[in-house]
Amino acid sequence: MRYNHILFDLDGTLTDPGVGITKSVQYALHKFGIEEECDALKWFIGPPLQVSFRERYGFAEEQVEQAIRYYREYFSEHGIFENELYPAMKETLETLIHAGCKLHVATSKPTVFAERILIHFDIMECFHSVTGSFLDGARSDKSEIIAHVLREQGISTADAIMIGDRKHDLIGATNNQIASIGVTYGYGSVEELSACNPTVIVDTVQALEAWLLEASSGEVVGKGISNRA
């Protein structure tokens, strides 16, 4: 089985954005008189901000919009760069390109921020396309984002695989009838990922590369959990 098009989530998959995102959420909540420790806000990493502010704090729509504006006050200047590329990730991307794969980013983060991050880490040129949400919150659902990538790039479902660390990535893949890889080095638990029945689960960037290279070689790759500790 060969996947010529590989879709990557950004936060928790390509980079570790934990510090920047949690500090940005903390800043926004402080504006509402809500004090939280950053460690308690890690579950914000992955889902759309609109969903997280609404479900966790019961914010009405106007409050959600204001919270996101506050979030971006900090994030656009500071939090966006309080971020780290996962070790060996750039080398893995280059290896996959050399193997003939086309790489894409499919993220719920606004495209404008995603592109700034990719440029900052000098990996923008690794990607054939970058698709995120709009600043007004439109196209923030991962299923919709993946569908946009497939449609705009003319990719068949049999030719694509989605990689992510949260259930939203895997559910989005399933809703678009494409294969998926759950990565446990990000912010989703094994239980969360397993419940979504991905094609495979891997623990490290190295294991991710090895599995994708086997798949890109045309070998039949089994479904299940791979490279588990």
| Cα–Cα distance list, 209 to 8, 20, 159 (Å) | 13, 27, 17
The amino acid sitting at 75 is F
Q: Tell me how far apart the alpha carbons of residues 96 and 103 are, in angstroms, rounded to a whole number.
A: 8
pLDDT at 47: 86
16 counts as catalytic? no
HEC sequence for 131-178: EEECCCCCCCCHHHHHHHHHHHHCCCHHHEEEEECCHHHHHHHHHCCC
- The correct answer on CATH 3.40.50.1000 for the domain covering 5-16+85-225 is yes
Place of tokens 């009405």: 60
**Which residue is catalytic, options 9, 16, 141, 165?**
9
- Give the pLDDT confidence score for residue 229 in this predicted structure: 40
* pLDDT (tens digit per residue) in 145-187: 999 999 999 999 999 999 999 999 999 999 999 999 999 999 9
Tell me which amino acid residue 157 is. Answer: T
Distance, CA of 115 to CA of 102 (rounded, Å): 17
Structure tokens at 87: 């070790």
Question: Cα separation of 115 and 104, whole Å?
Answer: 12
Tokens 């509402």 belong to 32
Compute the distance between CA of residue 78 and CA of residue 7 in angstroms, rounded to an integer: 27
**Region 82-87: what's the mean pLDDT?**
97
Domain ranges of the chain: 5-16+85-225, 18-81
CATH code, residues 18-81: 1.10.150.240
Give the tens place of pLDDT for each residue, 206-222.
999 999 999 877 664 55
The pTM of this model reads 0.91
Q: Identify the residue whose tokens are 């809703």.
A: 175
